[in-house]
């Protein structure tokens, strides 16, 4: 399915009986998150909170609460995107594809190239606000502040700039609390093996600050693209266009790249400065404690006219992000034999929090003459898988 905005996706879900509206006022401090958790456990529709205390914006949760709903949201483009990802990892697979599949994949790829538009025509730049105007949502009692849980964080390598060489990742953002200066500073939490770190290091080496653009909302495909472990050389923005059935539109504003169809964007820079970030009730079921992480100095905050704030709640699995893991597995499964030779299948265990535990089926290919079952190649496969898994997630 192709959506021009998150509001358009909301309308589609409502017409499909996959969305309910809550009109009474709801407190963003703990109450909203508890409603979301209970709704997810019951397999309820997506929820649009129309009145969140202290916010002028509606909040959307449970968007990806079920696999069936996710399949409805993305439609046929989910399968096409998976084929393109598989071809990127293993180009020779095209010989085994039908003509219809080849045509659909080719058309999907060409029609997905990012499209530049003028800043004047970018919906997200229509209205200027401050950080304090954004919805304030606290999910767990000991959280250190209010967080963005579905951010799309965009950066470029200052030494090799360009939209197709950029990185779009999902790194949690702390909007307030701790030592952050109101409306001027927010926290950016990223760890090892994240491309934003490479870009940050390159900027510091050049004696520069790194420009960071944070997008919230937009077509649902943009959110999923930010968490996808894609083959090297496949842009997240290109993938967002494939999955969304519509080119990723972007504009330039004050030296920043902006997702034109996002609902909100926060623009600013990070340097060497760090401040305490957290605690945060994390997806493993316990709190990530307070640690120093980069501070983003905020320069601009914008929102579109019909802005909807998407939010998810993480915690002990299963939660809404369980669906993310299943979507990722469905799309990336064709990559496994090519990128990890000898491994037939993998499964990240959601009940363990995805990251800590993975099951894999490996093979011993090189020693058919040996009669015992002593693992050899499987050990190297396990090491390779561990490295790739850490680099991806």
Residue 19 has pLDDT above 50, yes or no: yes
Domain shared by 353 and 258, yes or no: no
Flag whether 138 is in a domain.
Answer: yes
Domain shared by 34 and 71, yes or no: yes
Query: For position 88, what pLDDT does the model report?
Result: 52
Q: What's the pLDDT band for 11 if we cut at 50, 70, 90?
A: very high
Query: For position 104, what pLDDT does the model report?
Result: 52
Distance CA 199, CA 290 (A): 24
Domain shared by 117 and 154, yes or no: yes
Query: For position 367, what pLDDT does the model report?
Result: 78
pTM of the model: 0.90
Domain shared by 196 and 104, yes or no: yes
Domain shared by 228 and 360, yes or no: no
Flag whether 384 is in a domain.
Answer: yes
Q: What's the pLDDT band for 161 if we cut at 50, 70, 90?
A: very high
Query: For position 95, what pLDDT does the model report?
Result: 46
Flag whether 213 is in a domain.
Answer: yes
pLDDT digits (tens, 9 = 90+) for 59-102: 999 999 999 999 899 887 666 565 556 555 555 544 454 544 54
Query: For position 109, what pLDDT does the model report?
Result: 57
pLDDT digits (tens, 9 = 90+) for 90-116: 555 444 545 445 445 445 556 678 999
CATH number at residue 259: 2.30.110.10
How far is C-alpha 98 from the chain's CA centre? 32
- Residue 331 has a CB neighbour count (10 Å cut-off) of 24
Residue 199 has pLDDT above 80, yes or no: yes
Please give the DSSP secondary-structure letter assigned to residue 48.
E
Domain shared by 146 and 286, yes or no: yes
Query: For position 61, what pLDDT does the model report?
Result: 98
Q: What's the pLDDT band for 390 if we cut at 50, 70, 90?
A: low
Domain shared by 17 and 148, yes or no: yes
Using alpha carbons only, what angle is made at residue 136 by residues 52 and 27, rounded to the nearest 5 degrees?
40
Could you tell me what percent of the chain has a pLDDT over 70? Answer: 87
Pairing outcome for strands 151-155 and 185-188 = unpaired
Query: For position 46, what pLDDT does the model report?
Result: 98
Flag whether 283 is in a domain.
Answer: yes
The mean per-residue pLDDT over the stretch 191-201 comes to 87
* Residue 89 vs residue 234, higher pLDDT: 234
Expressed as residue numbers, the domain containing 23 is: 6-327
Residue 51 has pLDDT above 60, yes or no: yes
Domain boundary among 270, 297, 327: 327
Query: For position 99, what pLDDT does the model report?
Result: 43
Domain boundary among 274, 295, 327: 327
- Residue 370 has a CB neighbour count (10 Å cut-off) of 10
Flag whether 332 is in a domain.
Answer: no
Query: For position 388, what pLDDT does the model report?
Result: 63
Query: For position 309, what pLDDT does the model report?
Result: 99
As given in the structure block, the two tokens for residue 323 are 């669906």
* Residue 367 vs residue 88, higher pLDDT: 367
Cβ atoms of 232 and 192 closer than 8 Å: no
Radius of gyration of the chain (CA): 21
Query: For position 350, what pLDDT does the model report?
Result: 81
Q: How many CA atoms lie within 13 A of 37 on its CB side?
A: 14
Domain shared by 263 and 369, yes or no: no
Q: What domain count does the chain have?
A: 2
* Residue 215 vs residue 393, higher pLDDT: 215
Domain shared by 285 and 364, yes or no: no
Residue 3 has pLDDT above 80, yes or no: yes
Helix (H) or strand (E) holding 31: helix 31-41
Flag whether 334 is in a domain.
Answer: no
As a whole number of Å, the end-to-end CA separation of the chain is 27
Q: Which residues contact 330 (CB under 8 A, 6 or more apart)?
A: 78, 82
Flag whether 290 is in a domain.
Answer: yes
Domain shared by 323 and 294, yes or no: yes
Could you tell me what percent of the chain has a pLDDT over 90? Answer: 62
Domain boundary among 327, 361, 382: 327
Query: For position 79, what pLDDT does the model report?
Result: 63
What mean pLDDT value characterizes the chain?
88
Distance CA 60, CA 168 (A): 22
Q: Which residues contact 284 (CB under 8 A, 6 or more apart)?
A: 316, 353, 355, 356
Domain shared by 147 and 178, yes or no: yes
The mean per-residue pLDDT over the stretch 215-219 comes to 98
Query: For position 111, what pLDDT does the model report?
Result: 65
Query: For position 102, what pLDDT does the model report?
Result: 42
* Residue 88 vs residue 238, higher pLDDT: 238
Domain shared by 233 and 357, yes or no: no
Flag whether 333 is in a domain.
Answer: no
pLDDT digits (tens, 9 = 90+) for 284-315: 889 999 999 999 999 999 999 999 999 999 99
Cβ atoms of 10 and 39 closer than 8 Å: no
pLDDT digits (tens, 9 = 90+) for 252-286: 999 999 999 999 999 999 999 999 999 999 988 89
The mean per-residue pLDDT over the stretch 14-42 comes to 97
* Residue 317 vs residue 204, higher pLDDT: 204
């Amino acid at each position: 399915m192709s959506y021009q905005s998150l509001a358009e996706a909301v309308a589609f879900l409502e017409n499909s009986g996959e969305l309910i509206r809550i009109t009474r006022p709801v407190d963003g401090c703990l109450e909203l998150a508890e409603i979301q958790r209970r709704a997810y456990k019951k397999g309820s529709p997506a929820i649009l909170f129309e009145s969140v205390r202290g916010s002028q914006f509606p909040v959307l949760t449970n968007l990806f609460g079920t696999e069936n709903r996710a399949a409805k949201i993305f439609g046929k483009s989910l399968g096409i995107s998976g084929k393109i990802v598989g071809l990127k990892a293993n180009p020779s697979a095209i010989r085994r594809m039908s003509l219809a599949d080849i045509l659909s994949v080719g058309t999907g790829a060409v029609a997905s190239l990012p499209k530049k538009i003028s800043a004047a025509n970018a919906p997200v730049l229509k209205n200027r606000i401050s950080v304090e105007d954004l919805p304030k949502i606290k999910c767990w009692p000991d959280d250190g502040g209010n967080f963005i849980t579905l951010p799309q964080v965009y950066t470029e390598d200052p030494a090799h700039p360009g939209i197709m060489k950029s990185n779009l990742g999902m790194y949690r953002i702390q909007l307030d609390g701790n030592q952050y200066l109101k409306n001027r500073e927010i926290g950016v939490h990223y760890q090892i093996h994240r491309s934003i770190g490479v870009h940050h290091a390159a900027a510091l080496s050049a004696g520069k600050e790194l420009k960071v653009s944070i997008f919230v909302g937009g077509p649902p495909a943009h959110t999923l693209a930010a968490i996808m472990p894609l083959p090297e050389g496949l842009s997240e923005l290109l993938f967002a266009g494939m999955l969304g059935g519509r080119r990723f539109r972007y504009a330039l504003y004050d030296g920043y790249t902006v997702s034109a169809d996002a609902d909100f964007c926060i623009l600013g820079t990070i340097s060497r400065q760090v401040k305490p970030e957290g605690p945060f009730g994390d997806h493993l079921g316990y709190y990530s404690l307070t640690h120093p992480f980069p501070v983003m100095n905020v320069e601009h905050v914008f929102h579109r006219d019909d802005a909807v704030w998407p939010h998810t709640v993480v915690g002990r699995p299963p939660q809404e992000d369980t669906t993310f893991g299943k979507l990722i597995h469905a799309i990336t499964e064709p990559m496994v034999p090519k990128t990890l030779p000898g491994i037939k299948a993998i499964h990240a265990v959601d009940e363990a929090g995805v990251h800590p535990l993975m099951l894999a089926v490996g093979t011993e290919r090189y020693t058919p003459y040996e009669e015992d079952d002593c693992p050899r190649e499987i050990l190297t496969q396990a090491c390779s898988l561990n490295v790739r898994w850490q680099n991806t997630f």
